[in-house]
Structure 1
Amino acid sequence: MTAPTPLSSLSSALADVVARTAPSVVSVHSHRSRATGFVWKPGLIVTADEALADEGEVEIGLPDGSRVVATIAGRDHTTDIALLRTEAGVAPVKLAATVPPLGALSVVVATNRDTPSAALGMVSASGKSWRSLRGGDIDARIELDVRLRPGQEGGLALDATGEAFGMAVLGPRRVLVIPTATIERIAPQLEARGRIARGYLGLGLQPVRLEDGIGAMVMNVDKAGPSAAAGIRQGDVIVAVNDQKLSGVRALSRTLGPASVGAVVDVAVRRGGEPISFKVTVGERPEA
C-alpha cells in the first residue's frame, strides 16, 4: 500500500471538510436567478440578498435532489443577507465566530446547477469592520482569492478545520465574506420582524456647495415625518448634525442605522441665510 503524501493527506482532509458541510447547503431558485443558501436554523435558510429576485416564487433545491417551496422571511439589502422559511427537514450548520488570518486556506461549499460544488482559495484580506456601499455594518473585512460562479453566491466559507466563518458573496471586483457575527446579528431580526429598522428623518435632500463647506438642501419633506414635526421646511439647508459639519448627503444617510432610531439629534440649518437649530427625534424608516 502506498504511503500517503502530504499532498494526498491535504486532499483527503479537504474532501472530508466538504463532505461534512455539504448536507446543510442548498440551491436557491428565484425568478431568473440561481444562488446557494445554507440552513441556519431548522426551517430557516440564509442566502445572499443580492442574488434573490425581487418578485416571484422561491424554491429550494435539497441535497437529495428534491425541491420545496420557500417564502421570504426577511431581507436586508445593506448587509446582503436574506432569510428564507421552508418546511424542509435539513440539518442546520454550526457557524463559528472566528475570523481567519491573512493567507489562510478557505473552501467555499456551495451549489452549481443544483449539484454540490466546492472551490478552494486563500484569505486575501482579513481586517476590521467596515460599512457597505448600501450602508450596512459588516463586522469584519474578509476577502477570498477564489473564483465563484453566480450560482455559488451564498455558499459557506470554511477554514481548514471545517469551521464555517461566513457566507461568500460576489463583490464588485472580489469575493467577500459576510462574517458569522453579522449573520448572527441580522438573521434573528429578520426572523422576528422581517426587516431591519433604519433611521428616518423624512427628508429629500440635495447636496449644495456653500462658501464654508457642504450643505444639504431640503427638496421635500414628509408631512408625517419627524423633521416636519420638528419644524424643518422645504428650502432649508442642513449644515451640521450634532455640531458635526455635514460632509455629504450619503454620509448623513449612513448615520441613520438601526441604533439611531429614537435618538434626538440637533440639526443646524440655514433658512434664508439665517442659522436655526432644530431637535429631531429620528424615526423608523417606513417599509415603502
Structure 2
Amino acid sequence: MHPVHSKLRNTLTVFLCLLLLAMAPMASATLPVEVDGEPLPSLAPMLDRTIPAVVNIATRGRVVERNPLMEDPFFRRFFDLPQQPRERQTQGLGSGVILDAEQGYIITNFHVIQRADEIVVTLHDGRRLDAEVVGTDPATDLAVLRVQGDNLTAVKVADSDALRVGDFVVAIGNPFGLGQTVTSGIVSALGRSGLGIESYEDFIQTDASINPGNSGGALVNLRGELVGINTAILSGGGGNIGIGFAIPVNMALQVKDHLVAHGEVRRGRLGVTVQDLTPELAQAFGISQTQGAVIAQVEPGSAAERAGLKEGDVVLRVNERRVRNATELRNAIGLLRVGSEVQLDVVRDNRRRTLTAVVAEIRAATTEGAQFNRRLEGASFSEITEASPLHGRVQGVLVTGVQSGSPAARAGIREGDVILSVNRQPVSNLEEMRRAAGSNGQRLLLNIRRDEGAFFLILQ
C-alpha cells in the first residue's frame, strides 16, 4: 500500500475511534427500559417493599477501664495508690429488622447493643425512636428491642431450612454508618459451624458484601423475605472479602420467642456427649447412614437416660428435622423450651426407632469459695455450662457471684470472672480448683480472664 494512503487510513481509523468513544456516554444515558417488549430485571420493586422494615441502630454507653495491676490490693498498698478506674464513653452503629410492627419488636445482634445505655432506632422515613431491650442471648449473638411508633413495617419471613446453595440473596444494612445500603450475592454454603464466633452456630455463608455496621441487618431472598440476620465476616483486614455469615431466620425466631416470653433463653439439655457420624463410624456400626450425631455418653439420671437413649445410638432427626452432625443436635436441643417433649429418630443395631425425651433445664452446680480456701470467702463458683456463651471457648471456672465487702470482693474478684489457673495450675472444673486452692498457704495466685483480657491476682 502507498505510504500516503496508509497514513490517511490510519488517521481515519483514529478519528472513528474517537467518535465512537464520544458517543458512548450518550448511548449509555439512553439505555432502553425494556428489550423486545420485556422490562429489564431490577431488584428495585422488591427493595421498595422490604427496606422500610430494616432500621439503623445507634448506641451510647460507658466502659470502665481498669489497669489489671490496680486490681491487686498488694500492689495498691505497696505503692500507696488509690484505685481510680477510668470511664470512657462508647458509641456504636448497627442495623436491625422489624419482625412485629404492631408490638414494635426489632431483632438485631447482641454485640450491636452490648453495654449500651442509650439505643436510638432510625427508621427508613427518618423518624428516630428510643428503644428498650426486651432480652438478649449472647450465646447466639441475638437481641430483641422494642420501640413505640405508628405505621411501622414488618418484614416478611421465609423458611430458612428451604435455602439452597446458589440461591440469590440480598443484604440490607447500615455499613460504616453510611445509611441503608443494599448488596447482592448468593448463598455460598449452609450449616457453617465450628468458627468460634458464637456458642450456637449454624450460619448461612454468603458472598453478598457484609461490612461493619451491617450487623443485625437483613439477609433476604429475591421475594424480599427474611432468611437470615447478618452477623459476621471473615476477613484479615476488617473489610469484606466475600465471606459473610448470617444467622438463619428459623433460629432467630426461636430465640426471639424465648426473649419475648422470658427476657432470656432458658436452654434445655438431654445429658449426652455427642460426636459427628463419620464414614468410619458408620462402617463400624454397620449402618448405611452417613450423616447424624452419635451418642458417645449418657449421663446417669439425665433426660436422655430416662428416654432410653444408649451409647452408640445415632440420632438422625429431632422433631422431624434432619440432624447432620453433633452441632445440629446441640443447636436443636438448646433452642427448645425447658420441659418440652422432643421426638428423636435414632438408629440402634441397624434398626430405626423413635424415642421421646423431656428436655431438662441446664443447672450449674455452685460451690462457695470458702470451701476451696478462706481467701475466696464471699465468692461462688461454677463450671462453664452449655448455657454460657463461653462454653467450648474458654477452659476455666466461672465466678457466679461475689458478696459486697467479703474477702473475695476486697481482693478484687468480680462476678463474671473466669479463673483460668490457681497457683499456676490450670483449672477447668470445680474439682481441679478444689485441689489447686485447697492449700491454706501464704497466698493464692489466680490467673483471671475478665472481658477480653487476662491478669494475675495475688490473694494474701
TM range (shorter): 0.5 to 0.7
CA distance in 1, matches of 2:121, 2:200: 27
Q: Which residue of the partner structure matches residue 92 of structure 2?
A: 33
Question: For 1:61-114, what per-residue CA distance to the aligned partner results, in whole angstroms no more than 9, with x for missing partners?
Answer: 111212111011011112121100110231211111144321222111223436
Q: Which residue of the partner structure matches residue 231 of structure 2?
A: 169
Higher relative contact order, chain-length normalized (CA < 8 Å, sep 6+): 1
Q: Which residue of the partner structure matches residue 253 of structure 2?
A: 184
Could you tell me how far 1:131 is from its partner in structure 2?
6.8
Q: 1:284 to 1:197 in 2, by over 3 A?
A: farther
TM-score, normalised to structure 1, is 0.65
CA distance in 1, matches of 2:124, 2:339: 45
1:157 aligns with 2:219: yes
Q: Which residue of the partner structure matches residue 116 of structure 2?
A: 55
Q: Which residue, out of 15, 18, 22, partners 2:51? A: 22
Larger fraction in strand: 1
Residues 72-221 of structure 1: pairs in structure 2 closer than 5 A: 72-89=133-150, 90-98=152-160, 99-112=162-175, 113=177, 115-126=179-190, 128=191, 130=193, 133=196, 134-136=198-200, 138=202, 141-173=203-235, 174-198=243-267
* 8 Å CA contact 1:79, 1:132 repeated in 2: no
User: Quick one: which amino acid aligns to residue 186 of structure 1?
Assistant: V
3-state SS of paired residue (1:57): strand
- Greater Cα offset, 104-113 or 30-39: 104-113
3-state SS of paired residue (2:250): helix
CA distance in 1, matches of 2:245, 2:193: 12
1:9 aligns with 2:48: no
CA distance in 1, matches of 2:246, 2:141: 10
Could you tell me how far 1:34 is from its partner in structure 2?
0.4
What RMSD, in angstroms, separates the aligned Cα atoms of the two structures? 3.4
CA distance in 1, matches of 2:226, 2:118: 29
Could you tell me how far 1:60 is from its partner in structure 2?
0.5
- Greater Cα offset, 173-182 or 186-195: 173-182
Q: 1:33 to 1:95 in 2, by over 3 A?
A: same
CA distance in 1, matches of 2:122, 2:230: 18
CA distance in 1, matches of 2:361, 2:249: 29
* 8 Å CA contact 2:58, 2:121 repeated in 1: yes
TM-score, normalised to structure 2, is 0.42
* 8 Å CA contact 1:199, 1:284 repeated in 2: no
Q: Which residue of the partner structure matches residue 74 of structure 2?
A: none
* 8 Å CA contact 1:78, 1:135 repeated in 2: yes
Could you tell me how far 1:148 is from its partner in structure 2?
2.0
Residues 235-254 of structure 1: pairs in structure 2 closer than 5 A: 242=299
How many residues are aligned here? 221
Q: 1:70 to 1:101 in 2, by over 3 A?
A: same
3-state SS of paired residue (2:213): helix
Mark the runs of 5 or more structure 1 residues left unpaired by the alignment: 201-239, 245-250, 264-280
CA distance in 2, matches of 1:62, 1:122: 27
User: Quick one: which amino acid aligns to residue 168 of structure 1?
Assistant: N
Mark the runs of 5 or more structure 2 residues left unpaired by the alignment: 1-29, 61-90, 236-242, 270-296, 300-309, 312-326, 341-359, 365-386, 389-399, 401-460
* 8 Å CA contact 1:65, 1:114 repeated in 2: no
The percentage of counterpart residues that share the same residue type is: 25
Larger fraction in helix: 2
3-state SS of paired residue (1:185): helix
Question: For 1:156-191, what per-residue CA distance to the aligned partner results, in whole angstroms no more than 9, with x for missing partners?
Answer: 111123222121111444311211211221101101
